[in-house]
Amino acid sequence: RVEGLAPGLYRYLPLDHALLLEQTPDQLSARVVAAARGQGFAVEAAVTFFWTALPERTEWRYGEASYKVIALDAGHLCQNLYLACEAVGAGTCAIAAYDQQLADDLLGVDGDDEFTIYLAPVGKVR
């Protein structure tokens, strides 16, 4: 529900500050709700952000501590989303209670080399 964007799964390209349409899966809303363990507000919002992690990008530097670093960084990213939402009069709610397999399948990641780590819907505050 974002004006000018068709429903679908988009990847953020930070170097270009752009969105890339990855796919438009059938029954997207139902699949998002299922991945969010039935939490319907995940699709009632204008957009739901999913974050994935690629452990190899941190393992070379942090070794066994890389999973802790990934979790901390995901928290930092989501906190910034909360701050951005507040600045524009929107709201969010971080979701850590999701179905790992369903979220990974929805995003097309393998669950090993790349996996879903967090999600958060964003919308206008009523």
User: Would you state the pLDDT for residue 1?
Assistant: 84
Length of the chain: 126
Q: Measure the CA dihedral 100/101/107/111, to 10°.
A: 80
| Alpha-carbon gap, residue 70 to 34, rounded angstroms | 25
Query: In CATH, which of 3.40.109.10, 2.30.110.10, 2.60.40.1220, 3.30.1330.60 is domain 27-124?
Result: 3.40.109.10
What is the model's pTM? 0.92
Which residue(s) pair with 51 in the sheet? 118
| Regions in the chain scoring below 70 on pLDDT | none
User: Would you state the pLDDT for residue 9?
Assistant: 97
| Alpha-carbon gap, residue 79 to 76, rounded angstroms | 5
Which residue(s) pair with 49 in the sheet? 120
